[in-house]
Structure 1
Amino acid sequence: MPEPLIAVDHLTKRFPVKKGLFSSGPFSHAQKYVHAVNDVSFTVQKGEVFSLVGESGCGKSSTARTLIRLYEPDEGKILFDGTDISHLDDQGLQPFRRRIQMIFQNPYSSLNPRQTVKEIISEALLFHKIAATKKEAEDKTYYLLQRVGLRPEQADRYPHQFSGGQRQRISIARALAVNPDFIIADEPVSALDVSIQAQILNLLLEIREEFQLSYLFIAHNLAVVKYISDRIGVMYLGTIVEIADEKAIFANPLHPYTKALFASVPVLGEPLQDPAINGDTPSTPIDLPKGCVFYKRCPFAKDICKAEKPQMKEYEKGHFAACHLLAGGGEA
């Protein structure tokens, strides 16, 4: 395999729980943490769409924000094109800020409401010295707006004057403006109508080929993930439990959580399958179990699942899972 563009190695991010009334004195307790990202490892190859999927609160967005250094990692490495960026200061990160861009779920909150679209995109072009003059920045802004399906004359409008789908197109244009290599798309279509979702997904696939981009795509909608992904990582309670290419994981999910997650998706004309999962996903992963993070809800759990954390192993070529119930497999 060629050297990956992104290599996330045992990444961990914890958030301290706010202290309560009895946070000191004889009634105090040891500091507790939300384990948002728990020993996560994966790679993204050049030109690849790697997706993270799982229920809400499983750590997908926290992983993305830690990768882009919006959150500071507590442990692990983030290798970008061979360079560890996990602990670089702001000055050291500056060259990588241009090469790594992010598209957020809510485009309205990520666009400055006091700036016109032309100002939003031109500002990025001038700051990163992609354009040498204001005129050059304006010309490239018009080109980018056309490329994402908007009209150049809309450049003088403000974000509130656009629909949700149009605002997401503006976010994509702003990300493209600085010539990135890697784009993190965090639930980029979940707030949009279904018909608009398809348009945005197709646009993302088109510009991937045209601009030679790699994506980390975050989603909970399995139909969306199946459509856009090359490989998929399944997350539960801040941990990746299975990784495989799109066709393999949908045809033959290995981990009990993956099977249950896929079984919960309704199929037109077929009865809904019983996912056979006990209980609900914990709202906050504070006191993680010593063994498998899924053992409390797994209908097949054994004593070893409670006592020992399963390691990620390869069971088929390129198909990895972390489960004591699976026989064989080589270490990842």
Structure 2
Amino acid sequence: MLTFPIEEALTFDDVLLLPQKSDVLPHETDVSSYLTPNIKVNIPLVSAAMDTVTEHRLAIALAREGGIGIIHRNMSIEDQMREVEKVKKAESGMITDPITIRPNQSVKEALEIMSIYKISGVPVVDEENKLVGILTNRDLRFIHKKDYEKPVYEFMTKAPLVTAKEGISLDEAIDILQKHKVEKLPVVDDEGRLKGLITIKDIVKRKKYPNACKDSAGRLRVGAAVGVGPDTMERVKALISAKVDVIVVDTAHGHSVRVLETVEKIKGEFPQVDVIGGNVATAEAAEDLIKAGADGVKVGIGPGSICTTRIVAGIGVPQITAISKCAEV
């Protein structure tokens, strides 16, 4: 009869933290950590890349509180890219690539753009990206449906507009917005080309959510999941073009050759992008992912309260033990 050594393994319900003497007050507590060497989160919360959990609404809400959401991959490449864009454009110190429209486009197109990105206005630029006007909800407030096919230039607020030069500080921008009683401040270069957009809404959000998880440009951070299928690299390229912060190679069994190859390929083609691999539950798996180039390892096979992996397949490791083993690598 074959015998196997059975080790004791623990999950979260099996342990309690031992209270100790502390001189730290609750409001002084710092629970910030690093998702990857390049991505800091101010609260240690990452949402699951599940189609019933994370799309742009949760990702925005979580990033504002200091965590990060991972957009699920059960959608087309274009739809997932759009979800990432919605998070990245939700707020910013200065929007460096604002959504724009041409003066000859229809009002209907402008309304569709504003609805998709949930914005209240768009700068209007010509073929050389020079600012010629701005179209806001205020300009369209009393418009009739019969006017939807008319060009934007008939309704936009035309130049000259209140603008700012490149390099303006946030405090200077606030002074200009308050002085002229406007909500949007286009940033232009010396030739009048649009270089960015500062909005009062973003400034208010910055004060309301001081612990938000943001990138160096002041945009909310967001991740996105990919698989190991034939369209993976196409999906990765699209997500990177949408300014995604981290790619998660997300599979039920992360310790597989296809996952390792995918992580290695992504890091080889896009070394500037952080990549997380998973799901795994052993030190050997964590080590192989790290060797493949992963910037982070997603630990956990079947630990969720609604997950049936361990019940159906009889596979997994209790979560505290799994984390402990992987952390030893």
Shared fold (TM-score, shorter chain, > 0.5): no
Higher relative contact order (CA 8 A, sep 6+): 1
TM-score, scaled to structure 1: 0.29
TM-score, scaled to structure 2: 0.29
Structure number with larger C-alpha Rg = 2
Question: Counting strand residues as a fraction of each chain, which structure ranks higher?
Answer: 1
